[in-house]
């Protein structure tokens, strides 16, 4: 298996790691797990480490705390993270706290999910989804772009 550059979800440092499902790779900087089955919270200070420098596709959910569908979707995103890692990094971007990121990516409705690969937007989808629907949509988009 090939080594990939992966941003740590805790300290956001880049790591060269060989990702295997049966292994639990740790960050060489902070020692925490690179994959913990949880979405990482991103903001302007750390989004580029995951979006542009990491070699994992990034599925970002744009949300706000006052949004009912966003709140309903939160546990589904956690379940999806446990199903999609280590192939895809899942993230949450709170547009109330980070409005510039919502503006930068043209988010007009929440919740909105955008799937990126090395900084390029592959697809987006608005509305609350179940974990299974998130996983299916992500896998379909990645399969289309890998072909």
70: alpha, beta or left, given left = phi > 0 and alpha = psi -120 to 50?
alpha
Contact assessment for residue 113 and residue 125, using Cβ atoms and an 8 Å cutoff: yes
Judge whether 59 and 124 are in contact, CB under 8 Å: no
In the set 8, 27, 30, 70, the catalytic residue is: 70
| Catalytic one of 8, 27, 30, 67 | 67
Question: E-assigned strands of the chain?
Answer: 3-7, 14-18, 40-41, 58-63, 89-94, 112-117, 120-126
Rounded Cα distance, 3 and 119, in Å: 19
The size of the chain, in residues, is: 147
Catalytic-residue membership of 67: yes
List the catalytic residues: 67, 70
């Amino acid at each position: 298996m090939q080594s990939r550059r992966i941003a740590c979800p805790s300290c956001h440092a880049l790591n060269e790691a060989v990702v295997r499902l049966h292994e639990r790779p740790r960050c060489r900087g902070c020692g925490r797990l690179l994959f913990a089955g949880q979405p990482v919270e991103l903001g302007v200070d750390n989004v580029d480490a995951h979006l542009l420098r990491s070699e994992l596709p990034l599925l970002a959910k744009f949300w706000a705390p006052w949004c009912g569908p966003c709140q309903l979707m939160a546990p589904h995103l956690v379940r999806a993270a446990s199903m999609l890692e280590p192939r895809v990094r899942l993230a949450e971007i709170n547009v109330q706290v980070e409005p510039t990121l919502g503006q930068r990516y043209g988010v007009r409705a929440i919740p909105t999910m955008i799937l990126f690969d090395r900084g390029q937007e592959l697809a987006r989808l608005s509305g609350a989804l179940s974990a299974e629907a998130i996983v299916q949509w992500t896998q379909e988009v990645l399969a289309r772009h890998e072909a």
